[in-house]
Structure 1
Amino acid sequence: MSELPVTTIVGAGAFVAGTLFGWTAQKTNFCTMGAISDIVFMGDWRRFRAWMLAVAVALAGTQILHLTGTINIGKSIYLTPNFGWAGAILGGLMFGFGMTMGGGCGNKTLVRIGGGNLKSVVVFLVLGFFSYMTLRGLIALGRIQLEASNINLADLGFATQGLPDIVAKLTGLSAQTARVALTAVIGGGLAAWCFKDSEFRGSSHDVVGGLVIGLMVVAGWAVSGVLGADEFDPAPLSSFTFVAPIGGALQYLMSFTGATIDFGVAAVGGVIFGAFLAAKASGKFQWESFAGTDDMLRHLVGAALMGTGGVLALGCTVGQGITGMSTLALSAPIALAAIVFGGVVGMKYLEEGTLSGAVKAALGRG
């Protein structure tokens, strides 16, 4: 009996991890857009702390895998010396604004599909179409022009855009010492900030959501980095992100013979499946459709912005906001900040009705 292809092994692992991811997100209501909305409209930080706990757990676990030699995080797409600052900012703003129009980020779209939301099926299709068009289609022309502003950090003497490499170069510390210090300061600081709040400590579903989602990102790196570490046919090192993989999933569905199930495509399927199981088990599965034309148009615009912006930013609220952060890449906190601000602007836009009024309100000048 011949051995299974590496892509099949990695895909199976990604599907299992994705199923646990989707189940957890559905059961605990883990939602990054919802986290921002809770702060803006209710002053409730619990779901945002769950998000930051996921970042802390993912960061600590990922760096431990790297320090122990289990994986080489330097092979990830986040740590090239090509620093795409403009894409992180513009793409992050587009994605953040778009997710408020589209009813949730990429992850939430998949979770809602699993729960019977037909609006999210439409968002999925449009998001995937625009992500693929930004990667390889008409919008790719604009993306390439934007990438002309990228900074090649290798010209400045930095091996990668990883914060440990940058700190080591600037301070004279070893890269390993800088990595351990940054992991302790950033990861430990985030965890301490999360748990210092009594309301968060008392919200078991938020705590569990943050812990499990963070661990699934670590599991993703392990699956692709260990199971995919074949000497002759290695799989790309990757973990959870939901914009480009949705485009890849559409390509796979449309051209079965010309595409493969990589980590991202399998994870997309797993998240939908896990959310479906959780929704059925809790009796929350319910068909839902558009309320009207305006509702549909808003979701279409949001999906297009997410698909385009997520590719430009090299990730979404999970792809950059958790997975990218776990690598300590310089672009990750920039993209994360842009996504959060774009989300706040989007929420204020739904209130104010004008973009200028929304920006002023988001800046506290409204």
Structure 2
Amino acid sequence: MDLALIADRFGDKWTLLIGGAIIGALFGAFAQQSRFCLRAAAIEFSRGRIGAKMAIWLIVFATAIAGTMALAAQGLFTSTEARQLASPQSLSGAAIGGLIFGTGMVLARGCSSRLLVLSATGNLRALLSGLVFAVVAQASLHGFLAPVRDALAAPLTTLSIGSNDLLVLSGIPDQLAFALVVTGLLASLALAAWRKIGIWKTVAAFAVGACIPLAWWFTNAMTAVAFEPVRLEALSFTGPSANTLMLFLSEPGSMIDFDVGLVPGVFIGAFLAALVTGELELQGFEGGDSMRRYLAGAALMGFGGMLAGGCAVGAGVTGASIFALTAWVTLFAIWIAAATTDWVIDRKWPARHAKLDALTVGTPQP
């Protein structure tokens, strides 16, 4: 594929949009088929079980990192030119934003990418939650929540430690890191086989992870052929969701780039996958309490993802694939918050109310 010819034919911006849409469609289709979901994996792990959901997430995670490192080793990608490593990042924002995002992820029963995939299959809860997520993300980027985001991001940045590259800071050689990642990938494949998730789901999870290095390769290749500067990036859903929302509120053609092709691409890919496999089904809210929970979670994810500089995919997989310290901080914060929120909201609180209800029922009435 000669990107230079395609860019000459369609223009740089439209080539970026088409590439984003194609990669997004692949991600959406395979994410829908594999049931890739960080929330599901985090809850499964927090409840003391390492099962199919954890295996799928680990395959995606390890594949993304191994593929990205292989690209860099072949000279097809330079990670230091990515935003996460090329400019100072907020450590305080990563930690606080990750905690907020992880809390919202459990409340909304899915991260931002999972909501997008589910909405394409007919889940109206996910669709409305995704819209709230995008609105709050935009408000956190350029709206009334931006000053709050800036205040939380300012106290501690990577300038204070001199780098955001985890391998540089730790002194771990690239070769050793790659060997560890490949070992992790093989272990995740063994776990998938042990948990009997099936060949198709395993392949689909592998394909989801491969979308990350594919996006790195594509945007890196576009930097060499585009006339205008192109941002080196892979997959994320906080900023792109906000940009896609603004696309419908702006002058036509004013916001054409990789990001605004990605989100519709994921939706289309997930829809087609669900259509082919007969998994399209309209689903709505189950009452006012459910609706409040989903929308509150979506709002928390919108602000937390923008504060952290990435979502469960943008920081938790894409940023981690280039060993950006802030991405790993965000990822760990998401896991901690998800486990805590699940324990408090979905396990401890219902158990307490059930106990109180049982005591009330058993109390003699006057």
Q: Deviations over 1:17-72 (max 9, x none)?
A: 11111111111212221222333457242221221221211112112222322122
Which residues in structure 2 correspond to 1:176-215 (within 5 Å)? 178-185=173-180, 187-197=181-191, 198-200=193-195, 203-215=198-210
- Partner Cα separation in structure 2 for residue 228 and residue 266 of structure 1: 17
2:167 corresponds to which of 153, 164, 167: 164
Q: Deviations over 1:211-268 (max 9, x none)?
A: 1111011111111111343353132111111111111110001214373132222111
**2:234 aligned counterpart, secondary structure:** coil
Seen in structure 2, the aligned counterparts of structure 1 residues 183 and 325 have a Cα distance that, compared at 3 Å, is same
Separation in 2 of the partners of 1:208 and 1:330? 29
Q: Is the 8 A contact 2:92 2:154 kept in 1?
A: no
What TM-score does the superposition give when structure 1 sets the normalisation length? 0.87
**Which of the residues 24, 32, 36 maps onto 2:30?**
24
What secondary structure sits across from 1:11 in the alignment? helix
Paired with 2:62 and 2:83, the residues of 1 have a C-alpha distance of 20
Q: Tell me, yes or no, if the aligned pair for 1:7 and 1:228 is still in contact at 8 Å.
A: no
Contact 2:235–2:318, Cα closer than 8 Å, also in 1: yes
The whole-number CA distance in structure 1 between the counterparts of 2:86 and 2:266 is 28
Q: Is the 8 A contact 1:19 1:270 kept in 2?
A: yes
Which is further off, 318-327 or 231-240? 231-240
Does the residue aligned with 2:9 lie in a helix, a strand or coil? coil
Report the aligned-residue RMSD: 2.3
Query: Cα 1:125–1:207, aligned 2, differ >3 Å: closer, same or farther?
Result: same
1:72 corresponds in structure 2 to 78
Distance 2:87 2:242 in 1: 26
Aligned 1:113-124 pairs, distance under 5 A: 113-124=119-130
Aligned twin of 1:336: 331
Alignment of 1:206-285 (within 5 A): 206-230=201-225, 232-257=227-252, 259-285=254-280
1:8 aligns with 2:3: no
Question: Paired residue for 1:57?
Answer: 63
> Following TM superposition, by how much is the alpha carbon of 1:5 offset from its aligned partner in structure 2, in angstroms?
1.8
In structure 1, give the amino acid aligned to 2:72: H
Give the letter for the 1:106 counterpart: S
Mapped to 2, the partners of 1:218 and 1:128 lie a distance apart of 25
Residues 1:314 and 2:309 aligned together: yes
* C-alpha separation in 2, matches of 1:223 and 1:70: 10
Whole-angstrom CA distance in 1 between matches of 2:62 and 2:347: 33
| Pairing of 1:96-175 with structure 2 (within 5 A) | 96-153=102-159, 158=162, 160-168=163-171
Cα separation, 2, equivalents of 1:44 and 1:60: 22
* Residue 262 to residue 81, structure 1, CA distance change in 2 (3 Å): closer
Q: Percent identity?
A: 30
* Amino acid aligned to 2:44: D
- Output one character per residue of 1:280-323: Cα deviation in whole Å (capped at 9) or x when no partner: 11111011111111111111100100000011111111111111
CA deviation after TM superposition for structure 1 residue 125, in Å = 1.1
Amino acid at match of 1:306: M
Provide the C-alpha distance between the structure 2 equivalents of 1:202 and 1:255, rounded to a whole number of angstroms: 44
Stretch moving more, 317-326 or 142-151: 142-151
Structure 1 gaps of 5+ residues are: 172-177, 358-366
SS at match of 2:252: helix
State the structure with more CA Rg: 2
- Amino acid paired to 1:67: A
- Give the match's secondary structure for 1:3: helix
Give the Å deviation of 1:342: 1.2
Counterpart position of 1:290: 285
| Counterparts of 1:190 and 1:162, CA distance in 2 | 20
CA distance in 1, matches of 2:176, 2:134: 38
Distance 2:109 2:218 in 1: 30
Matched, 1:37 2:37: no
Relative to the length of structure 2, the TM-score reads 0.87
CA contact (8 A) 1:252 1:260 kept: yes
* Range with bigger deviation, 45-54 or 315-324: 45-54
**1:81: how far off?**
5.2
Q: 1:257 to 1:205 in 2, by over 3 A?
A: same
Question: Could you tell me which amino acid in structure 2 is paired with residue 311 of structure 1?
Answer: M
Distance in structure 1 (CA, Å) of the matches to 2:210 and 2:218: 12
Match for residue 91 of structure 2? Answer: 85
Could you give the per-residue CA deviations for residues 162-185 of structure 1, whole angstroms, max 9, x where no partner exists?
Answer: 1233245xx8xxxxxx22322222
